[in-house]
Amino acid sequence: MRIGVVADTHVPIFSPQVPENLWKALDTCDRVIHAGDFHTYSVYREFADRYPLTAVIGNRDDFPESDEVPERQVLEVSGFRIGITHGFGPPKGTEKRVVKSWKEPPPDLLIFGHSHQAGIHEIEGFKLLNPGSPTDTLTATEKTYAIIELKDEIDIQIHRLD
């Protein structure tokens, strides 16, 4: 199972549209996870119409939390539990706040966004992934997304968009 992981697209704020090279990368995936801040419901729909999508709402999304786009969720796929939330507060320390706010037992992987800083972390028994942002270089050094391969283990690769 190959999963594309994206957060903080912020279309049309940081980019007038989702970058074409991101669509091409995600087209190689079996499903997509978006950790919030699409910015508009139409961008959420664009992802949902193109891919099997698991998504959460972000703090800058201009549409309300719903059953369709909740604040957090757990995806069970290929024998793994993947938690998804957006994050909150100042960019620095987002991963620690995400861990403290997670009320369920640690999933196999917890995906979050918000800081636009791509990275893989391990904190207090949580394995965390922030895919960064595919459109922002104001608060990040690179435009990024991630690909997860689910085999015997969870293999994570963070990719830079050129």
User: Contacts by 43-50 with C-beta closer than 8 Å and gap 24+?
Assistant: 43/9, 43/11, 43/18, 44/69, 46/18, 47/6, 47/18, 50/23, 50/26
Give tens-digit pLDDT for 99-153. 999 998 999 999 999 999 999 999 999 999 999 999 988 788 899 999 999 999 9
Express each pLDDT in 42-61 by its tens digit.
999 999 999 999 999 999 99
Look up residue 6 and give its DSSP letter. Answer: E
pLDDT digits (tens, 9 = 90+) for 68-113: 999 999 999 999 999 999 999 998 889 999 999 999 899 999 999 9
Q: Evaluate whether 55 touches 7 at the Cβ level (below 8 Å).
A: no
Do the beta carbons of residue 35 and residue 56 sit within 8 Å?
A: yes
> Can you read off the two tokens belonging to residue 7?
């957060």
Q: What domains are defined for the chain?
A: 2-160 (3.60.21.10)
Output the pTM of the full model: 0.96
